[in-house]
């Protein structure tokens, strides 16, 4: 998986890149690159954004700046780029990220993530350069960087070798193996703490019954959590 993040704050990603599952994914052949859009601006003084036409608060990322940055990095017209790879703009109003979308993205060979700032993107970036607009939730962050990290994290941990155990990603919350329900509760030693005992079944060594118990708890949690906001 090749992940390119276009950002004004590449240094934010230094910590992220040093996390174990991210460095495992890189050791396993994935590649993460960060492009500072300011390095490619055709405007003087490193300008990348501007005030919105029609008035209003905040600054908007300019379409000409994104055009130069994408063109410089990929060597093609960004209008054509989105036919070659998913180019994802991060914005609060986009398609909501969920496990199905993470799986869809993890199956791609390459992703480009565009981080907006302040008031976000000039709409022409979304119309002409992006293949997708994705939101990590219906709230507004001060930029797309944290959302990009969320996507990189969720996608990379789906790749083989990123997690310690191959099974961990298959049977986790919202997976097909759990019929899309949240994960069942986990317990570890001590078996009893302050009078709080671990469910007896988990100590029984009876794998089929444990499996059934876990599925039931997972289903119950799904019912308690209720439908996903924006879901069917
Ligand atoms: N940029 C600002 N807020 C965002 C959100 N909730 N999801 C994705 N990108 C964003």
For the CA of 137, the closest atom of ligand 1 is 6
Please tell me whether residue 151 adopts helix, strand or coil conformation: helix
Cβ neighbours of residue 207 under 8 Å, at least 6 residues apart? Answer: none
Which residue has a Cα nearest atom 4 of ligand 1? Answer: 92
Domains of the chain: 2-156 (3.40.1280.10), 171-225 (1.10.1270.20)
| Model confidence pLDDT, tens digit, residues 209-225 | 999 999 999 999 888 88
Question: Is any atom of ligand 1 closer than 6 Å to the C-beta of 147?
Answer: yes
**Token couple for 91:** 């914005």
Answer whether residue 173 shows pLDDT above 80: no
Which residue has a Cα nearest atom 6 of ligand 1? Answer: 92
pTM assigned to the model: 0.90
User: How big is the CA angle at 106 (ends 101 and 74), to the nearest 5 degrees?
Assistant: 110
Please tell me whether residue 206 adopts helix, strand or coil conformation: coil
Among 5-14, 85-94, 116-125, 142-151, name the one with the lowest average pLDDT. Answer: 116-125
Distance from Cα 27 to the centre of ligand 1, integer Å: 29
Give the burial class of 125: count Cβ atoms within 10 A of its Cβ; 0-12 exposed, 13-18 middle, 19 or more buried: buried
Strand-pair category, 192-193 with 196-197: antiparallel
Query: CA 64, CA 62: separation in Å to the nearest integer?
Result: 6
Question: Is any atom of ligand 1 closer than 6 Å to the C-beta of 92?
Answer: yes
Answer whether residue 3 shows pLDDT above 70: yes
> pLDDT tier at 35 (50, 70, 90 boundaries)?
very high
Q: What is the pLDDT of residue 75?
A: 98
| Model confidence pLDDT, tens digit, residues 93-149 | 999 999 999 999 999 999 999 999 778 999 999 999 999 999 999 999 999 999 999
């Amino acid at each position: 998986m090749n992940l390119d993040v276009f950002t004004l704050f590449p240094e934010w990603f230094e910590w992220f890149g040093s996390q174990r599952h991210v460095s495992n994914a890189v050791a396993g052949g994935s590649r993460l690159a960060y492009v500072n859009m300011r390095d490619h601006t055709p405007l003087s003084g490193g300008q990348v954004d501007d005030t919105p036409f029609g008035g209003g608060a905040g600054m908007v990322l300019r379409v000409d700046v994104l055009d130069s940055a994408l063109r410089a990095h990929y060597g093609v017209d960004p209008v054509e780029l989105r036919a070659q790879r998913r180019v994802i703009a991060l914005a609060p109003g986009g398609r909501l990220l969920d496990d199905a979308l993470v799986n869809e993205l993890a199956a791609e060979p390459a992703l480009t993530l565009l981080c907006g700032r302040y008031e976000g993107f000039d709409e022409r970036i979304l119309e002409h350069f992006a293949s997708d607009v994705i939101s990590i939730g219906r709230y507004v962050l001060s930029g797309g960087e944290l959302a990009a990290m969320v996507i990189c994290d969720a996608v990379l941990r789906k790749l083989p070798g990123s997690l310690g155990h191959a099974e961990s990603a298959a049977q986790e919350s919202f997976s097909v193996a759990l019929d899309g329900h949240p994960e069942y509760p986990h317990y570890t030693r001590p078996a009893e703490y302050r009078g709080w005992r671990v469910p007896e079944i988990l100590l029984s060594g009876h794998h089929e019954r444990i499996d059934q118990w876990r599925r039931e708890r997972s289903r119950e949690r799904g019912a308690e959590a209720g439908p996903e906001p924006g879901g069917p």
